[in-house]
Amino acid sequence: MKASPKSLLAVLRGTRQTRPPLWLMRQAGRYLPEYRALRETKGGFLELCYDPEAAAEVTLQPIRRFGFDGSILFSDILIVPHALGQTLWFEAGEGPRLAPPLIDSALTALEAAPERFDPIYATVARVAASLPAETTFLGFAGSPWTVATYMVAGQGSKDQATTRRLAFGDPAAFQAIIDAIVDVTVTYLSGQIEHGVEAVQLFDSWAGSLSPAQFERWVIAPNAEIVRQLKAMHPDTPVIGFPKGAGGKLRAYADETKVDAIGLDETVDPDWAERVLPQHLPVQGNLDPLALVAGGAALDAAIDRILAAFPARPHIFNLGHGIVPDTPIAHVEHLIKRVRGG
C-alpha cells in the first residue's frame, strides 16, 4: 500500500501516517543502471550537476522506477563553496577537490560566483513541473561545519583534523568562514524553495567528529541560524536536520536548532531516539545501508525493528546514510514492499 498523497510532507508537518512515507538518501545515483547509462553520455559528475536537463532526469529516475514518496534534488553539497568562489573539480577515484584551500588562503581572497546557483534552480523548476502530484520534492544543502571541512582542507578527510585545528587555533577566522557559508546557504535554499522544492534537508555528514562544546558552536549554532532565517522567509517549508554521528547530542540539536524533523543515522538506536527526542518531533531513518545490500532475514529484521520503534511518532522511513553503489535493485524493491505492507 502506497502512502497517501503528499504523506511525506504531512509527516514533516507533524502528522503520523499509518505506514511511514519512504525515500532514500542518494536514491538518484550509481546503483541505478539508467543513471550509469546517462552518466556515460555526460562526462564528469560536476558537468552532470550543472546540466539542468540531465540533472532533472537523474532526479526523476528513482521516482519512475520505485515510486518513492519523496524526490531529492540531484546535486552536490559543494555547489556552495563553488558559488563562494573556490575552484571545484572531482578527481577520478579520489573525490572532490577545492582550491585554494582556506587553510592556506584567506576567505576574502575568493571572488563569489552566485550565478553558479542558476542551473541548479533550473533543475528544480524542471523537476517540480514533472513530479507526480503525490510526491514531495526535497531540496538540500550541506550544513556549515561539513562544508567548511572541505573548504579548509581542499578535500575530504577521515577525521577533519585540518579544519578542527583551525577552529581551535583561530576561532575568529573560522567563524568568518562559517558565517559566509550560513549566508550563502540561506540564499541557496531560499532559491530552491522559490523554484519549487517543498522541504529542505541540511546534511551535516561530519558532525560526529566534534566535542560537545565544538558541536554546540560549529553545528548547532549555524544550523539554528539557517533555520531561523529560512523560517522568516518561508514559514511553511519544513527543514530536516541530519547531523550524522551526533549520538547523544541529538536532543540538544533538536531543541536548539528548531528543525521540523531530525534524521537519524544508522548508529542511533531507534528505541533510544523514541525515548529521548522531543515528543511528536518527526524523525527520519535509519536503516543501515549495508543491511540493504545484505538483504534477506537481516534486512527484514532491521526494517521491522525501525517500524516498531515509533508507535505514535511521525516517521519517514529512510536509510541512516546514502545508498551504496552495489545495492541490488531487488533489495530496494523488497524494502519498499515491506515498509508499505504489500
Catalytic residue among 19, 39, 217, 313: 39
Per annotation, catalytic residue among 26, 97, 164, 313: 26
Q: 341 with 1: CB under 8 angstroms?
A: yes
Element (H, E) at 277: none
Count CB atoms within 10 A of the CB of residue 298. Answer: 14
User: What distance in Å separates the CA atoms of residue 56 and residue 129, rounded to the nearest whole number?
Assistant: 10
Q: Give yes or no: 76 in active site.
A: yes
For the residues of 104-161, what is the DSSP string, one character each?
A: TS-GGG----GGGGHHHHHHHHHHHTTS-TTPEEEEEEE-HHHHHHHHHHSS--SS-H
Residue in the structure block whose three cell numbers are 550537476: 49
Catalytic, 150? Answer: yes
30 is catalytic: yes
110's CB contacts (< 8 A; 6+ apart) are 84, 85, 86
Catalytic residue among 150, 188, 260, 265: 150
Q: Which three cell numbers stand for residue 25?
A: 538518501
Can 16 be counted among the known catalytic residues? no
Cis peptide leading into residue 33 (ω within 30°):
no
Q: How far is CA 97 from CA 93, 173, 188, 287, in A?
A: 12, 21, 21, 30
SS3 content of the chain, % helix, strand, coil (to 5): 50, 15, 35
Looking at 16, 30, 251, 338, which residue is catalytic? 30
Instruction: Find out whether 320 and 265 touch, Cβ atoms under 8 Å.
Output: yes
In whole angstroms, give the CA distance from residue 311 to residue 309.
6
Contacts of 239 (CB under 8 A, 6+ apart): 199, 200, 201, 202, 226, 227, 230, 231, 259, 260, 261
Residues contacting residue 170 through CB under 8 Å, at least 6 positions apart: none
Among 31, 51, 69, 76, the one annotated catalytic: 76
Q: Could you list the active site residues?
A: 26, 30, 39, 76, 150
